Amino acid sequence: MTPKWIFFDLDDTLFDFTASSFISLCRLWDESPTIRARFDNPDSFIEEYHIHNKLMWQLHESGQITADFLKPERFRLTVFPDLHDDVSLKESRRLNDRYLWILGECDNPVEGARELLDRLSGKHLIGVLTNGFTEVQYRKLRATGLDRYIQRMVISDEIGIQKPDPRIFRYAEQETGATPETTIMIGDNPDNDIRGAINAGWHAIYLDRKNKPFASDSTLYLGRLNSLQDIRNII
């Protein structure tokens, strides 16, 4: 097919979130005496953080907690597991704000992202459809310079709806005039990006950078790729 709109996920599809988060958390450990007092090395801090961050995101995506609760709570559970007072909460908010600031300054596009967007931008309209926090998502795009290729950003935090909910795909259509028949979603998350897009009637391409299995017999599923460079074989 020849798509009019191509929507990309952001984290670990266009922006190398995994590498950038690691860099940001290492820097946070290095800067914070409070974190270093609990963790002897950044690896142990990062491992513990990911346990709580994953749980918080699961609760957020199921609607059980808000984003405002998630952000400091993941650091409170990591650094102050036995405390829940004003001091620990204030420091957890500070750590979260610092982490997101560092993360938003990382110039780490996924390999091939700039070249692919440069090739596609003259032929197609390009959007980003992402679950994430509004301000930091915009800052990631600006830091990488990828923002110049993007006609529209749709961010879950701005509208209160997250992928894979079909309503976020409908919202993207309403905001851009995109139609399911001429729109492709490209992303690295089999559930949020690929199943979500297919269930909304969009075509989908799975960017499998982490060897997560996915299979679909839907005619809307256009294929599985290991790198952005390979997308030229489909689009």
Tokens for 95? Answer: 């750590």
pLDDT at 16 over 80: yes
Cα–Cα distance for residue pair 115/146, rounded to 1 Å: 10
40 by DSSP, 3-state: which?
coil
pLDDT of residue 2: 74
Q: What is the mean pLDDT of the chain?
A: 95
pLDDT > 90 fraction of the chain, expressed in percent and rounded: 89
pLDDT grade, residue 1 (50/70/90)? low
CA 182 to chain centre: 24
Quick one: which of 155, 152, 151, 153 has its CA closest to 133? Answer: 155
* Region at 40 (left for phi over 0; alpha for psi -120 to 50; beta for the rest): alpha
Q: Give the residue among 141, 123, 227 at the shortest CA–CA distance from 182.
A: 123
CA distances from 167 to 23, 43, 104, 171, 207 (A): 34, 38, 27, 6, 23
Give alpha helix (H) positions in 3-66: 17-31, 33-38, 42-61
pLDDT digit string, tens, across residues 142-152? 999 999 999 99
pLDDT confidence of residue 85: 85
Q: What pLDDT shows up at residue 94?
A: 98
Structure confidence at residue 122 (pLDDT): 86
Report pLDDT for 58. 94
Per-residue pLDDT at 80: 96
Dump pLDDT digits (tens) for 50-101.
Answer: 999 999 999 998 889 999 999 999 999 999 998 888 889 999 999 999 999 9
pLDDT, mean of residues 39-44:
98
Q: Are 164 and 192 in contact (CB under 8 A)?
A: yes
Cα dist from 77 to 31, 44, 72, 97, whole Å: 19, 14, 9, 16
